[in-house]
Amino acid sequence: MSSLVPAINMFHYRWSVPTVARLFRDGPQRAADLQRAFDAARDTLADTLRRLERAGVIVRSPAPRGAVCSLTPAGEAVGSACVEAVDAVRAMDLVPLALKKWPMLVLTAVGRGANRYSRIEDELPGITPRALALALKDLQAAGLVDRTVEHTYPPVSIYTLSPRGAGLFPVMDRLCRAAEAAAAAGR
């Protein structure tokens, strides 16, 4: 099983995937234009852009009316996967859920076979128990993940993708694999 760490490092901030998708589709843009397009808080988007820059996905160049953001080769490598992810999330009406930090990564971990709480937690370094519990509840509420309880002692919860989640998994998995390949190429 491949690691989700590169995807966590690259896309952990809420506007990361939409930013890369927009830059891939439309080319370089000013930060202010991205902020207006997403209707994002300036500080939130600024944090996202800093994180993407540190991850080597974008570069910001000075310009007369504000810095212009453009994709690096690593950003270009993940760009089409970001576009596909944004389109799939919109088509399934999951934008609010996808803009949260962990749910799509949790969905990917479950889709890759992590079916118990502790295994999911192991696949996602840095996730807190509370964040994982909330992400699983959100995914269940959205009909993406099913939870069954094995009647053992102690009882064990097993998480699996629902048919709807199985439809989204390949797109999210491609995005995570693209992040892994871009991180490996950057080493």
Amino acid letter, residue 21:
A
Backbone angles phi, psi at 149, to 5 degrees: -110, 120
User: How far does Cα 164 stand from its chain's mean position?
Assistant: 18
Following DSSP, what letter does each residue of 131-169 receive, concatenated? HHHHHHHHHHHTTSEEEEEE-SSS-EEEEEE-HHHHHHH
Of 20-24, 66-70, 158-162, 164-168, give the lowest mean pLDDT range.
Answer: 66-70
pTM of the model: 0.91
pLDDT of residue 1: 52
Q: How far apart are CA 150 and CA 155, in angstroms?
A: 6
Does 5-186 carry CATH code 1.10.10.10?
yes
- The structure tokens listed for 69 are 């953001």
Query: How large is the average pLDDT for residues 28-57?
Result: 91
Q: How far apart are CA 159 and CA 107, in angstroms?
A: 10
Query: How large is the average pLDDT for residues 71-84?
Result: 95
Q: How far apart are CA 18 and CA 87, in angstroms?
A: 10
The DSSP code for 27 is -
Q: How far apart are CA 158 and CA 182, in angstroms?
A: 32
pLDDT of residue 186: 64
* Strands 68-71 and 29-30, sheet pairing: antiparallel
pLDDT of residue 171: 97
Are residues 160 and 145 in contact, defined by beta-carbon separation less than 8 angstroms? yes
pLDDT of residue 64: 82
